[in-house]
A and B are shown apart, each in its own frame.
Chain A
Amino acid sequence: MAAPRAVLRLVPPKWNVGRRGFRDLSGVVTPERNLRKKRTLLQFLSDHFYEVEFLREYLLQRQIQKVHLDNRAYSHIESTYGPDIAGAYFVLKHGGAVINYHGLDSLLSLKELQSLSLQRCPHLDDWCLSRLYPLAGSLQELLLAGCPRISERGLACLHHLPNLRKLDISDLPAVEFPSLTQILVEEMLPNCEVIGTDWAQGLRQGPEEQPQDTAGPIPAE
């Protein structure tokens, strides 16, 4: 969604300050009489910007709302398949599924879930990982590769999943020290095969290919 961003750039940030000053003075005569003409113009512009800002805020909120709405759809999983799918295998990796914290609700009731693939989910964050512990009894495979918001802080919660046998934490741009993190995760989950970024892969992928602005409220697509 480039649209709201584009609109955002139309407004130089310094106007924000000016606008407010003038707004508050509206109705009060400013001492600088000789600036009156200018003031009226600024007043006009600031009023104008007020709308622009409103629009920006509206777009921002709508973006957020959309993700929330999409996540309601996930609750159908439960009504359609019932809470227990024996030996379920769950995939949510199709070019960035919108699943977020609330969308996880339905997955968490799948008590027999053995394998969960949440690769490249732009909204999946550390908060989500901290909620996976109800799957501790069954979950053996968890694939998180390419999730732009997951950091070592969320990975630390995976010790709640002692039955994990395979964990893919490769290509997590928000993890600050990937190799160290991998070692610590391996120590924390001694029975689990941890797939991380191997050195060769790290070298092949130039820095410009790394996703940018990954922690932003608006995903890049």
Chain B
Amino acid sequence: MLRRVLRPTLGRSLLIRGLSSRSGNSILDWDGNVSEIKKKIRSLIPGEPSNFLYDTKHLPPEHSDVVIVGGGVIGLSVAFWLKTLEKRRGAIRVLVVERDQTYSKASTGLSVGGIRQQFSLPQNVQLSLFAIDFLRNINEHLAVADAPPVDLQFNPSGYLLLASEEGAAVLESNVRMQRQEGAKICLMSPAQLQKKFPWINVEGVALASYGMENEGWFDPWSLLQGLRRKVQSMGVFFCQGEVTRFVTSSSRMRTSVGEEVNLKRIHEVHVKMDNSLEYQPVKCAIVINAAGAWSGQVAELAGVGKGPPGTLQGTKLPVEPRKRFVYLWHCPQGPGLETPLITDTNGVYFRREGLGKNYVGGRSPTEEEEPDPANLEVDHDFFQNKVWPHLAQRVPAFESLKVRSAWAGYYDYNTFDQNGVVGPHPLVVNMYFATGFSGHGLQHAVGVGRAVAEILLNGHFQTIDLTPFLFSRFYLEEKVLEQNII
């Protein structure tokens, strides 16, 4: 069976060769540079066309050990951990390629900033616990001399998940697991709920779970900017441009049972510069696919999913953009400072925003309601018809409210099992994934970045075992379902 190939071991041995090939490369680089100089000297000789003053600052370097596609919170976190865990200062050259430095469509800035431990999978709980510890000490991890501290604006107000009679048993068993992992979650009966939050109508609620500690929301921009500043100070290269092509080579191999597989390796990444046809090839040993909602497309560029259906080669990265609306409303009679992030039995969620009786919230549409992801326009009817009635039912004060603004963002949605994809591709052996977190990627970014750096540098996961999140599960059809997708 192919299972043997699917283990990361194979990728690893190739990877080590890839990284170590760099010392050999430096001779080539030397030659390359000497010829560059010759060229430039020649250009100074009268009569020769002069291009000496051609500015190349905006171009990426010609080679980088690791190229990270996507400079969102996940890509930056991978960069951070690679530089933190590298054996020797400056050992790994890391380049982050981001096509939009304003991050106008990136999920990171458009998220609602929530962090919770209330997941159904132990790995997700562990990732959140790791993250909360990191965030609490963010100014130790991301300290940059001379720079002001990161102001994360964490609101430790907790998540409150409501379950109907049907969902109560699952909620209870999830909470048991969450507590075993070390999360501080308590269960509440409808009566307790009513006493604690008198503004909730508990009709239809059989059980609730409430995060006492380490849950709440923070400013995603602060984390993004803090990471960016830190990795820049650690010597990570940045470049604005779009990855449009991978130059690969392939070799046929036979598994021990005689099956033939086609192993691919990326040698060069083509980075297309903004608003031009110009592109720059970057030689590299490793590519990290951290392109968020667009990571499916980036995987396709490397040939992932291009093969006969049912084969590993024909297995796509099942991550696509899914549009999600967030509404901000004002309600003078609304609940007070104690308001947690509440998720109703039907998936409608909201939380307090600031002190002025403002709230943000929304709901994930059903498969049938899925809006067209072509643009980021907001559907206001969705709030009127699918969100507000439920809000008003749960919190009667919300019967009169005024929507003040709204926005839309893309979930990096994994259509297979709504969970992250982490680690190398079994066939494109030097492409590593860090994507697919379907609406909880912000809070898991720091843990995922570390996991990717670990498997890349050491060949296996150390801090948190994310083996269930490997790509191979799509081919093996082993779903790792997360029930608590909000």
Show the binding face of A for B, using Cβ within 8 Å: 8, 11, 13, 16, 20, 23-24, 27-29, 31, 33, 53, 56-57, 60-61, 64, 101, 126-127, 129-131, 133, 152-157, 159-160, 177, 180-181, 184-185, 187-188, 215-217
Partner of B37, one of A31, A53, A60: A31
5 nearest A-B pairs in the assembled complex, by CB-CB distance: A130-B156, A159-B338, A156-B337, A56-B145, A153-B155
9 contacts between A and B (CB under 8 A): A27-B26, A29-B37, A31-B36, A126-B154, A130-B214, A156-B155, A156-B337, A188-B338, A217-B140
Q: Report the nearest B residue to A160, measured CB to CB.
A: B212
Given known contacts A29-B30, A180-B355, A217-B139, is B153 in contact with A153 (CB within 8 Å)?
Answer: yes
How many B residues face the partner with a CB closer than 8 A?
Answer: 34
In the bound complex, CA of A188 to CA of B197 (Å): 10
Partner of B151, one of A27, A130, A185, A215: A215
How would residues 147 to 187 of chain B score, 1 for a CB under 8 Å from any chain A CB and 0 otherwise? 01101011111000000000000000000000000000000
Inter-chain contact B145/A8, CB cutoff 8 Å: yes
In the bound complex, CA of A129 to CA of B213 (Å): 10
Inter-chain contact B136/A127, CB cutoff 8 Å: yes
B20 to chain A, nearest CB (A): 17
Show the binding face of B for A, using Cβ within 8 Å: 26, 29-30, 33-34, 36-37, 40, 90, 93, 136, 139-140, 143, 145-146, 148-149, 151, 153-157, 212-214, 216, 233, 235, 336-338, 355
Interface of A is mostly: helix
Contacts of B151 in A (CB 8 A): 215
A84 to chain B, nearest CB (A): 21
Inter-chain contact B336/A187, CB cutoff 8 Å: yes
In the bound complex, CA of A196 to CA of B265 (Å): 64
Inter-chain contact B145/A64, CB cutoff 8 Å: no
In the bound complex, CA of A11 to CA of B147 (Å): 13
In the bound complex, CA of A127 to CA of B140 (Å): 15
Q: Report the nearest B residue to A157, measured CB to CB.
A: B156
Q: Report the nearest B residue to A26, measured CB to CB.
A: B90
Inter-chain contact B355/A181, CB cutoff 8 Å: yes
Inter-chain contact A187/B355, CB cutoff 8 Å: no
Of listed A61, A130, A154, residue having the most chain B CB within 10 A: A130
